Amino acid sequence: MMKLILASNNKNKLREFKEILEPHGFEVISQSEAGADIEVEETGTTFEENAYLKAKAIYDMFCLPVIADDSGLEVDALNGAPGIYSARYAEEGKRCARVLSELEGVPDEKRTARFKCCICYIDASGEKHVVTGVCEGKIGYEKLGTNGFGYDPIFIYGDKSFAEISAEEKNKVSHRSDALRKFEEVIKGVK
């Protein structure tokens, strides 16, 4: 198995990366498991810039393969917000409520949204590889379901929220799985 450091300590992201990458021969460990006790400031203006900042900081510490992502929700009726500020859009537990409040009175056809995920992989030689994944959907009218995390309860994919489908179903269609599928193609040539 090839060891990959995930430039994050987010347990949900770590679980998703492990579920998708371990069957392909990767041992994914968090940055704290690798010994990195840092919080990288996300000062980029795009998902790609923020993913690179995180990956580069951890790579510089260990000179080992690192994967980082930056992802978020883009709502068309909110001019792409919360976007790169998705994790900081409101305090924990109130982000969905803020989006729903800001979309009050917005009709169904204008509630289009997408989850976007940018993955930056820095290989053992220090070369950067970037892929982006997208999952199109819309914003519902209330929180639905108990699975998932973040904006999953209000993001409608098909006729269910991401929080109403199983992790296995979500991993087949999510923005992160789309990016990881693209990443798998990249990694085949650079392991």
- Structural domains of the chain sorted by starting position, each given as residue range(s) with its CATH number in brackets: 2-188 (3.90.950.10)
Cα angle value 43/45/50 (rounded, 5°): 55
Among 52-56, 68-72, 148-152, the minimum mean pLDDT is found in 148-152
* Burial per residue of 67-87, b for 16 or more beta-carbon CB atoms within 10 angstroms, e otherwise: bbbbbbbbbebbeebbbbebe
Residue 68: pLDDT band with limits 50, 70, 90: very high
Residue 139 near residue 103, CB atoms below 8 Å: yes
Amino acid letter at 26? F
Averaged pLDDT for residues 48-77: 95
Residue 20: pLDDT band with limits 50, 70, 90: confident
Residue 176: pLDDT band with limits 50, 70, 90: confident
Amino acid letter at 123? D
> Mind telling me the catalytic residues?
70
Averaged pLDDT for residues 100-128: 96
How crowded is the C-beta side of 173, counted as CA atoms within 13 Å? 17
Going by the DSSP 8-state scheme, the letter that residue 142 receives in this structure is S
Count of C-beta atoms within a 10 Å radius of residue 146: 9
Strand runs labelled E in 7-105: 26-30, 66-75
In SS3 terms, 32-56 reads as HHHCCCCCCCCCCCCHHHHHHHHHH
